[in-house]
Structure 1
Amino acid sequence: MHGVEDGRDAIGSGHSPFPDLHSPLHSDKILILDFGAQYTQLIARRIRELGVYCEIWAWDHDPAEIAAFGAKGIVLSGGPESTTLQGAPKAPQQVFDAGLPILGICYGMQTLAAQLGGSTEAADAREFGHAEVEIVAKDELLHGLNDHPGQPPRLNVWMSHGDHVASAPPGFVVTARTERIPVAAMANEDKRWYGVQFHPEVTHTRQGETLLRRFVVDICGCRTLWTAANIIDDQIARVREKVGRDEVILGLSGGVDSSVVAALLHRAIGEQLTCVFVDTGLLRWQEGDQVMAMFAEHMGVKVIRVNAAERYFSALAGVSDPETKRRIIGNLFIEIFDEESAKLANARWLAQGTIYPDVIESAGSGTGKAHVIKSHHNVGGLPAHMKLGLVEPLRELFKDEVRRLGVELGLPRAMVYRHPFPGPGLGVRILGEVKREYAELLARAD
């Protein structure tokens, strides 16, 4: 095996991690600029659940690329900073120059106000939890929303903020308030720019899904094409175009991500796919037999099973440090995978189960802000000497989307929705030294 020449350069480069998105599936899309909120990935998941593709980029991403992205609307996320302090993060001017609809959420609304001539201020105490918002003016975003039918319109929402907007910028109308803050929502209908102090992406905000749909579908005009069936069709076409008649090799772990990749690639290229399943002796109880039964026997996927338990228990003998165990397990997997792939002379591509959170966490949304990368991540765990091209059909997807794809591809629901299992398996669940009898006992117990 000789290494990745293709597909890895986008990670952490400051560019979109998906530079070749020309399908209709990606033509209607939303850009989320991340100001560091704990909920940012949840915003993206909610928008995708509506059937619209979106990406998360850092607030200080290259402004020229933001302008060139081709979004139909921009969301400014929340964040932990304060707009009242000098040097606080700001949205690039290109966001306002683009003429696109904008939705600012929490900090996103505050920076919208501060940058456009309004004002923000620090509250006496941080507001966190349930709040009731009174709608005081009509706009396209909030019109008709009411959690109390038959009464003046009010919304039950979730707040999480310290600062708040004290006065809306010129051209904006205050559309909602609470007992504690004078501007809970604001709108500039001419420009289609909106801000909400609360978090529509969390389930505690009852009308949150409706509000996001209003913005993404009604105001931005996005079509809801982002469905499991369409994603599968799109990825099959892209994989076929990318690999042609070449052979592809996949390390099949039995986990959700690699299993869905196997099913997807088998549908796309059939016999051109060879899976290598390394049975480490550290898997779930009887998982090796289950994987072979599912993929090799039931689905007809070409799977090479390597029974490597003895090698693993020998390599781990006397080792008790968790990170050392994790490194040994990962390195030995690559070594075995290397040995098997060397026997496949025509393999030109390596398939991986990388998913979108791996990309975000490993690249810090393209800014390099993520300093610690989990050592069992797919991204960044590849040997430098490999020369195989990289195929990552799940790279754009969140875990819940991967699960929906698995069901659509015919994988058993119980397999696709089971509890996550760590990459190094039982090796990191066994305290101290890893021995065969410990692994078997733990597997039975689990």
Structure 2
Amino acid sequence: MNAKLETGATTRPVTRQTFDDVLVPTYAPAAMVPVRASGLDLWDQNGKHYLDFTSGIAVSSLGHCNPALVAALTAQLNNVWHLGNGYTNEPVLRLALALTEATFADRAFFCNSGAEANEGALKLARKYAHTKFGPHKSRIISCLSSFHGRTLFTVSVGGQPKYTEGFEPLPQEINHIPYNDIDAARAAIGDDVCAVIVEPIQGEGGVIPGDPAYLKALRELCDQTGALLIFDEVQSGVGRTGALYAYMDKGVTPDILTSAKALGNGYPIGAMLTTNEIAAHFGVGSHGTTYGGNPLAATVALNVLETINQPAFLARVKEASDKIFAKLRKLAADYPQVFGEVRGSGLLIGLPVAEAFKGRAKDITKAAEALGLMLLIAGTDVVRFAPALIVTDAQIDEADRILRAAVDGMLNAAPAK
């Protein structure tokens, strides 16, 4: 036995300090440590209750420990966990059928995360272009302030230089243009472009909805140049906007779509969806993953998809969205010195801070957390709301009450000017 491995390692006491002691410091998590959750309710090590309006960054859309998902996963746990890609399995075949039947796609590739889904999409786009047009067609167009993952390829494609600093040299033939700028798109997308990747709603970049006219222009430019249009729906997909995928409400169909986050409700899974013609350029051995599409992940995802992709469920998402937007518009009107104009789509919502609170979005979420409300940020100037899609009217009212109390506390604690 390793001398450093103590007996009882699975039950030894741990605290937030343990993170600082033994984990690579890539995150700065909250002081509290969650230990139990159900729906939108969460409790920390001290038994304190929180209302979770983060859903694990738009992941746990059916709530924590959803009973139907727990039952489905438990049943699969007693059948088969993992096989490797030398074999297929029934859950992944059913999931692929369900996703292709519900979307524009003919084919699905499964992996473990949004970054992997985007990595696969970008590799496929280059493979497709090189085979069909030649290696000169390799340039990738992305948007400034976009986010597409943390692999070296996807972080380079993402339009936020702070995430690439220190990792040079970066992959080449990648250019970034302003989001929602049609003229910039026209100037950038030429015959040497193999792919244009875009979020229908920029999430990490500030919760900025894509203008339908802009997305349609991208579609037209890709059609004209032979480039593939990739929609990154890792955050906006699986019901988050009130449609199964955001493209369905935008009037634009991509060539490749990537999905993750809510697809597994917290169980790691990613998916890349595309057409027969494009998928044919990924032959046997050209791409792969050890765990992608394993029976456990596929079982959870299939049950998530079947629950969310129902007209009544999606209609309720839009209803809940309207209620939160109304609350936040009233909040911004009551506290104009703190907040700007709310924006977003469905239950992916951003509330920018006013000039006097620039750079202080995190301070607001910390104040709310102290009172029992978990929120996100999208950059330093936007408070982000991404509650589970099953959020109730009573929970929306409670979140509004807590956020108002948090803002009042901040304003009362501020020194007089």
TM-score normalised over the length of structure 2: 0.25
Kindly name which structure, 1 or 2, has the bigger radius of gyration based on alpha carbons.
1
Task: Name whichever structure is richer in helix by fraction.
Answer: 2
TM-score normalised over the length of structure 1: 0.24
Task: Name whichever structure is richer in strand by fraction.
Answer: 1
